[in-house]
A and B are shown apart, each in its own frame.
Chain A
């Protein structure tokens, strides 16, 4: 392409994106098409990938295809395998994409579609994709070492231990929040619970198929599993229509909580091939297929956005979905999709061991995160196609809705019990009121989009089927994260305790397996239970804790990245990681401080506890205890990360002032055999 053609092309894409942003920002009062959101996002991704990621790859990191990657040097045919970049892109995306980019934007839609979309798009370009790419590059140059190992080697030993503890604590909160989303989606839903319950025997059958009956035939087993799953989905509708069967699958949130806890424990102690692996394959197939279909459906119908660009809750801070103003809470509510600390664990896990040449890291690390952000934008579109009144009725408790009723009616967000009843009937549910957590409202949005495409085939019946398909899709991969998260948490606990009691560190010693699994499950199970019995719905207190912890993990990753850049002598480019780091620290520390010390009982844990002191309401003492526990957890996260940041800043100062020799722990340069003859 000639230089002029290139300038015209990229100038045109930039102008189109800027125009789309202009329409989104300036329009008020009229219904907008989702096409504007998609155009603004895609044009920004294209420009950022073409120019910013190229700058990062060439100038900041100095990616060098003459240098052999760990996949080439340590090729063992199993973990370390040079892999085609498109294939690895799919593999990496499947590992980083979960419920987060779907649920966060749905909750943040409380502020309107604009703040969340801007954060998704700008946050990913300057923050999330930079973090993923940086950590992938750092791990790639260190034989695929983990984030904790890199923190230990490049900062110091205590930073490594602090990072490891931070990951363990964060994982417990993460699992509790994800489990709460599933509980809220399945309570009093016989169709949903039946379908999800069926996934357990289906996964067991798949495990037996691919391990015992037809060893290694994962594709066959997965196809059979997918067919059975769709059968279970259709059968769920029939079960829900039979009163005696429906009652067997209609349970309260508390009962489902105990089922989840039991499931998590069993999944952690069973052999991995029996339940975890088959479920993982099933959820990966379903995840990738559904996301592709959703993207296609949105592109085909370009639904109108019924939610305004900004709602009154952006400035009032009295939102019924979660308390707090736009700043800082929009930025911690949307974590995955804009920037997610958890990605640094994947970017320093399997992916760097499979990269064939260094330049592929740009496409996989930066490009993979752009795709996750696009998923977040689609979730935002699905949520904003709902009538705002329906959205708020679904995402808060009746008490919260009553408290916000004046603001809602002034904004014109009106919903009647009749509308909610009709919608529930259309979706094949008993009720859709107070289905907080984001998953049910996303499912309604997705069902309406899918049903618009397939209306010629069945109309109303298919809407209910699509709704339960969307619930199954979300619940399935949340349960996969719970399986793997509990297991990884168990390994971490065994490793930590193994330092003082070596026998406990043996991952195959059954007493240790049972005890460590029980501790991890009890940890997230406790937070899950307190979320379920919380009169404000649980999401109100747990989702901000999850957002804060996830973003703080991103801060840890960016500290490691900045340290490595400075030690490499690239301090003039340290702003690429320092800018998102400074933003994240500002946002998370402000949010953490407000969650703990705000005088508003709806926002601050301590103020809420004080408002209940002396109360004779049932369960008041437990709520007070929970508030104090949440305070402790928030302060613990903030302290741990502050320690790590201070340690990092000290290291930067020592290196930059030449008081310490900068030693990078890169693997030695070995020329790539692939590069010969280039």
Chain B
């Protein structure tokens, strides 16, 4: 079975309106992706936070990451 991962499968998703590339770029540059998170919450059966809460948590978490020299 082909492994379908977030932000991947390039041409196929690009053909569906470029969503795949947008997700891929967001993931590559470490940007928030609320739509993808909503999708995850739906699949996992979680109650999603509001967009504002999601963004606040996302940026706070990003601020703890290390950037190399």
The residues of A with any CB-CB pair to B shorter than 8 Å are 75-79, 81-88, 90-91, 94-100, 174, 178, 211, 215-216, 218-219, 222, 271-273, 276-277, 280-281, 284-285, 335-336, 340, 342-343, 345-346, 349-350, 354, 356-357, 477, 480-481, 484-485, 487-488, 491, 546, 550, 674-678
Find residues 20-69 in chain B having any chain A CB closer than 8 Å to their own CB: 22, 24-32, 34, 36-37, 39-41, 44, 51-52, 55-69
Assembled-state Cα–Cα distance A84/B27 (Å)? 9
A70 to B26, CA, bound (A): 21
Complex formed: what's the CA distance from A406 to B67 in Å?
42
B37 touches A349 (CB 8 A): no
A281, B40: Cβ atoms closer than 8 Å: no
The answer to whether A84 and B32 touch (CB under 8 A), given A95-B66, A98-B69, A215-B55, is no
Q: Does B19 have its Cβ within 8 Å of any Cβ on chain A?
A: no
Q: Which residues of A contact B15 (CB under 8 A)?
A: none
Q: Give 1 or 0 for each of B1-16: 1 = CB within 8 Å of chain A CB.
A: 1010111110000000
Q: Contact partner of B65 among A95, A222, A550, A676, CB < 8 A?
A: A95
Return the chain A residue nearest B33 by Cβ: A216
> In whole angstroms, how far apart are the Cα atoms of A385 and B64 in the complex?
39
Given contacts A77-B37, A211-B55, A284-B29, A84 and B7 within 8 Å (CB-CB): yes
Whether the pair A216, B66 counts as a contact (CB closer than 8 A) is: no
A99 CB contacts on chain B under 8 angstroms: 69
Q: Is the CB of A677 within 8 A of B1?
A: yes
Flag if B31 contacts A357 (CB, 8 Å): no
Q: Which residue of B7, B51, B61 has the most chain A CB atoms within 10 A of its CB atom?
A: B7
Choose one: A77, A488, A675; the contact of B44 (CB below 8 Å).
Answer: A77
Given known contacts A83-B27, A87-B28, A100 and B69 CB-to-CB distance under 8 angstroms: yes
**For the complex, what is the distance from the CA of A84 to the CA of B30, rounded to whole Å?**
14
Closest to B32 in A: A216
Q: Is the CB of A272 within 8 A of B27?
A: no
Seed contacts A84-B7, A95-B67; 12 additional CB < 8 Å A-B pairs: A75-B40, A75-B44, A77-B44, A78-B58, A78-B61, A81-B40, A82-B3, A82-B6, A174-B69, A211-B55, A219-B31, A678-B1
Beta-carbon contact of A83 and B7 below 8 Å: yes
In the bound complex, what is the Cα–Cα distance between A675 and B3 (angstroms)?
A: 8
Q: Please name all residues of chain A whose beta carbon is closer than 8 Å to the beta carbon of B25 when the two chains form the complex.
A: 219
Instruction: State A79–B8 Cα separation when bound (angstroms).
Output: 17
Q: How far is the CB of B18 from chain A (nearest CB, A)?
A: 12
Closest Cβ of chain A to B57, distance in Å, is 7
Chain A: CB-nearest residue to B29: A284
Residues of chain B lying within 8 A (CB to CB) of residue A356: 3, 5
Which one of A79, A90, A675 contacts B61 once the chains associate, using CB atoms below 8 Å? A79
Q: How far is the CA of A174 from the CA of B6 in the complex (A)?
A: 35
A217 to chain B, nearest CB (A): 9
Beta-carbon contact of B27 and A484 below 8 Å:
no
Across the interface, do A98 and B9 meet the contact criterion of CB distance under 8 Å? no
Min CB distance B10 to A, Å, is 8
Q: How far is the CA of A83 from the CA of B37 in the complex (A)?
A: 13
Q: Which of A84, A222, A340, A349 contacts B69 (CB 8 A)?
A: A340
Q: Smallest distance from the beta carbon of A92 to chain B beta carbons, Å?
A: 10
Q: Which interface residue of B8, B9, B34, B40 has the most chain A CB atoms within 10 A?
A: B8
| Contact-size category for B | 35 or more
Which residue of chain A is the closest to B25 with respect to CB atoms?
A219
- Once bound together, how far apart are the Cα atoms of A342 and B59, in whole Å? 22
* The residue from A79, A84, A219, A480 contacting B67, defined by CB atoms under 8 A apart: A480
> Are A78 and B27 in contact (CB-based, < 8 A)?
no
Q: Are A342 and B55 in contact (CB under 8 A)?
A: no
A94 to B31, CA, bound (A): 13
Cβ of B56 to closest chain A Cβ, rounded Å:
8
Give CA–CA (A350, B30) in the complex, Å. Answer: 10
- Knowing A84-B7, A277-B63 are in contact, say whether A342-B27 is a contact too (CB < 8 A): no
B67–A484 CB distance below 8 A? yes
Assess the B69–A550 pair: CB atoms within 8 A.
yes
Nearest Cβ in chain B — how far from A126, in angstroms?
A: 20
Given contacts A98-B67, A218-B32, contact A674 B3 (CB under 8 A): yes
Report yes or no: A345 in contact with B59, Cβ–Cβ below 8 A: no
Task: For the complex, give the distance between the alpha carbons of A437 and B65 in Å.
Answer: 26
B1 touches A674 (CB 8 A): yes
Expressed in whole angstroms, the Cα–Cα distance for A645 and B65 within the complex equals 27
Q: A78-B58, A280-B62, A356-B3 are in contact. Are A90 and B32 (CB under 8 A)?
A: no
Given the known inter-chain contacts A78-B57, A356-B3, please indicate yes or no for A350 contacting B68, CB distance below 8 A. no
Chain B, Cβ-Cβ closest to A99: B69
The answer for the CA separation of A466 and B33 in the assembled complex, in Å, is 34
Is B29 a contact partner of A216 (Cβ separation < 8 A)? Answer: no
Given contacts A91-B27, A216-B55, contact A100 B68 (CB under 8 A): yes
Given contacts A83-B5, A216-B51, contact A342 B69 (CB under 8 A): yes
- 18 A-B contact pairs sorted by A residue (CB < 8 Å): A77-B36, A77-B37, A78-B57, A82-B5, A87-B7, A95-B68, A100-B69, A216-B51, A218-B26, A272-B60, A273-B56, A277-B63, A280-B62, A345-B66, A345-B68, A350-B65, A484-B66, A487-B64
Q: Which of A87, A218, A342 contacts B66 (CB 8 A)?
A: A342
- Chain B residues near A349 (CB, 8 Å)? 65-66
Chain A contacts for B26, CB-based, 8 A: 218-219
B40: which A residues are within 8 A, CB to CB? 75-77, 81
- A336-B69 in contact given A91-B27, A91-B30, A273-B59 (Cβ < 8 Å): yes
On whether A91 and B68 interact (CB within 8 A), knowing A84-B5, A277-B62, the answer reads no
